Structure 1
Amino acid sequence: MRIFLKFILAFLLIYFFLSSLPKDYTPRVSQMDIEVRKLISAFGIQERDLITSMKKSFQRGNRKFLYLGRQYRIHPDFPGNEFDCEIKKLVKTHKFRLQKEKGKNFIRYNILAGNTVVYTLSLKPTKKVYLAVVIDDWGYTPNLIPFLEEIKFPLNIAILPELDYSRTVNIMALNAGHEILLHLPLEPLSGEKMEERLEKVTIRKDMTSEEVREVLRRFLNGLQGVKGVNNHMGSLVSKDEDKLREIFRVLKKRRMYYLDSKVIPDSVASKVAKEVGIRCFQRDVFIDNKDDEEYIKNQIRKGIKMARKKGYSIIIGHAKYHTLRVIKEMVPEIIEYTIPVKLSGLELYESPGH
């Protein structure tokens, strides 16, 4: 009996001695962080989805801790149940404890060493957001037409009127399920070599009201399935309320919308559209002011970020090889974070022209 008691006493002494030694959880937390990030990456969460992060070291008694906190955006269809199973296995492997909290707009995993939280992973489902991708300047060449089939979400194809390939693009875009806009040539402010850049027929400030209506009707009748109109150039006419009023009256009769590309900051298109009673959209981001693929990618991501903030965004590019190639390459990313839409289905306003 005495031997047994001595054994128990020795065991307790060793236990208390070991317990009193300094203990550092930092390496274990750091290693677990590496594996947590691998896990969330396997579930499609990338570093660009990171909203906030926190890192701090602290001490309690003779124990040293590292705390890490991360919050990520996740898609509304994120497989939460499968993720639960995997993170439970991971935490158990590292001999920590897991607590899960679920709120209306978040899922939070607290990982504990004993009773101390050493890691917090928060997941925030994103709301559905919409992205309208508009591609201007179609009709000059047939070379880019294959992209209309290859880009697997709805585009808004703005076609210049009465060019050699305007009708071909028109038919192919409709067959591929895209939306058709008339890319209406409007007179710009004067500038060097501006005159030679104008289309053969351009609506000018000095045209009569009847001439404006006649040209616009002819352009619209030359294309099939047109849902709306946006401006090609037009920095001068975009400030002319009378000319815009004539254009918008024609659009109202045909139940069409107008997309203001905002080539100038003081455009009066929205004001006149509200007065006439038609829907007027406004461009948020030009994606290809530089014909550089990295620049175009960053501009598209800027449009996606804007859509996530306000619920939608409208981005405009041009019928150029690099622009279309980048959009095709980014299809998975675009559809992961947004719902690409046709402008006619984008309910941004409570009332027409608002």
Structure 2
Amino acid sequence: MLLQDARRGVSYQTVIIWALLLVVAVQGFLLCSRRPRTPVLPPVKQEEQKKVLPPPRGDVVGRIAVVLDDWGYNKGHCRQLEEMPIPVGVAILPNLPYSQDVLACSQKAGKEPMLHLPLEPHRVYEKYPEGYYLTTQMSDADIRSTLERMLREMPGIVGVNNHTGSKATEDPRVMKVVLGILKRRKLFFVDSVTTDRSVCSPVARELRMRISRRDVFLDNENSRGAIERQFASAVRIARKRGNALIIGHDRALTLQILKEQAEKLSKEGIEFIPVREYIRRYEDPGN
């Protein structure tokens, strides 16, 4: 009787052990079979996201120069200009109510004040006083005297780009007079490229003068999406070619996006440089 009870106890223990082993095996199988192929992570908080951003790159993959046009109508964006973390060419129209104020604030902000030179377009869309544009009907002497007066009235200007000018920049005579004056004064010139028939580059080669050309207009369409797309286009050019020159305008949205993009891209190997340095680096007076 005792022997039977002992055998029965051993039998029960064996059954229990095997049952436990079976349970463990089944649980292990279920656990393995239910594991997702790709782990599902919780949304990353902004603070956590900042921690995993790559560090600023030491190597430069492209350089960009920026010109902002049409300053002088007001001085409302001078504060944004002062807070801009990158070099910017500030192209100021002459003889407007706030031209001198913007000239002063651009110098205070350490930017590059430029004359936004009104040149004759094929079609006039804006109303300015008579004689405001340099035109193809002017004599060489009139062009010289008008341009010299504009430059005297804006002391401290370091460079020039054209406001409109689709007609004047197609005229070799006009541009030879204009560029000759700028070369003598050691002022740089940026062709805004308002016509695909511009003769600025060949005239500059004839004068052995370094000038540059606009690659991208940022804000022909004044919307965030359009400006960001144009900015992306400029960055592609800078990455592929090594450099790009972009032109925007004195607008709050343009200035805001420019600041955002500058802070972002400076961590990705894009360097923003002054316009004068850009021309010195990338423009050959013999080409």
TM-score (norm 2): 0.79
The one-letter code of the counterpart of 1:265 is: D
Q: Following superposition of structure 1 onto structure 2, how do residues 44-83 of structure 1 map, counting pairs within 5 Å?
A: 44-45=53-54, 76-77=57-58
2:127 counterpart of 1:197: yes
1:134, 1:156 within 8 Å by CA — same for their partners in 2? yes
Q: 1:224, CA displacement in angstroms?
A: 2.5
2:107 counterpart of 1:174: yes
The one-letter code of the counterpart of 2:79 is: P
Distance in 1, Cα, partners of 2:62 & 2:281? 11
Q: 1:350, CA displacement in angstroms?
A: 5.9
Distance in 1, Cα, partners of 2:225 & 2:167? 32
Q: 1:44, CA displacement in angstroms?
A: 2.1
Q: Work out which of the residue numbers 315, 318, 321 in structure 1 matches 2:249.
A: 318
Higher strand share: 1
2:121, 2:164 within 8 Å by CA — same for their partners in 1? yes
Query: Which range moves more in the overlay, 246-255 or 126-135?
Result: 126-135
Higher helix share: 2
The one-letter code of the counterpart of 1:212 is: I
Q: Work out which of the residue numbers 205, 210, 216 in structure 2 matches 1:274.
A: 205
1:252, 1:277 within 8 Å by CA — same for their partners in 2? no
Q: 1:308, CA displacement in angstroms?
A: 1.1
Q: 1:238, CA displacement in angstroms?
A: 0.9
Q: Following superposition of structure 1 onto structure 2, how do residues 5-20 of structure 1 map, counting pairs within 5 Å?
A: none
Distance in 2, Cα, partners of 1:349 & 1:315? 14
Calculate percent identity across the aligned residue pairs: 34
Q: 1:196, CA displacement in angstroms?
A: 4.3
2:116, 2:163 within 8 Å by CA — same for their partners in 1? yes
Distance in 1, Cα, partners of 2:239 & 2:159? 25
Counterpart for residue 247 of structure 1: 178
Q: Following superposition of structure 1 onto structure 2, how do residues 123-162 of structure 1 map, counting pairs within 5 Å?
A: 127-162=60-95
TM-score (norm 1): 0.64
Distance in 1, Cα, partners of 2:57 & 2:194? 36
The one-letter code of the counterpart of 1:261 is: S
Q: Work out which of the residue numbers 212, 217, 228 in structure 2 matches 1:297.
A: 228
Counterpart for residue 263 of structure 1: 194
Distance in 2, Cα, partners of 1:204 & 1:228? 20
Deviation by residue 1:212-241 (Cα, 9 ceiling, x = unmatched): 011111111111322211000000001000
Structure 1 residues 238, 199: closer, same or farther in 2, change over 3 A?
farther
Distance in 2, Cα, partners of 1:215 & 1:353? 29
Counterpart for residue 188 of structure 1: 121
The one-letter code of the counterpart of 2:120 is: E
Deviation by residue 1:304-328 (Cα, 9 ceiling, x = unmatched): 2211111111110011122112223
Q: 1:264, CA displacement in angstroms?
A: 0.9
Distance in 2, Cα, partners of 1:309 & 1:42? 30
2:273 counterpart of 1:336: no
- Work out which of the two has the higher radius of gyration on C-alpha atoms and give 1 or 2: 2
Q: Following superposition of structure 1 onto structure 2, how do residues 215-230 of structure 1 map, counting pairs within 5 Å?
A: 215-230=146-161
| SS at 1:183 equivalent | strand
Distance in 1, Cα, partners of 2:115 & 2:108? 17
Structure 1 residues 27, 310: closer, same or farther in 2, change over 3 A?
farther
Identify unmatched segments of 5+ residues in structure 1.
1-22, 46-73, 78-125
Structure 1 residues 353, 238: closer, same or farther in 2, change over 3 A?
farther
Counterpart for residue 165 of structure 1: 98
The one-letter code of the counterpart of 1:173 is: S
Deviation by residue 1:91-143 (Cα, 9 ceiling, x = unmatched): xxxxxxxxxxxxxxxxxxxxxxxxxxxxxxxxxxx634211111000001111
Q: 1:334, CA displacement in angstroms?
A: 3.2
1:139, 1:165 within 8 Å by CA — same for their partners in 2? yes
1:334, 1:340 within 8 Å by CA — same for their partners in 2? no
RMSD (Å), alpha carbons: 2.7
Q: 1:151, CA displacement in angstroms?
A: 1.1
| SS at 1:184 equivalent | strand
| SS at 2:266 equivalent | helix
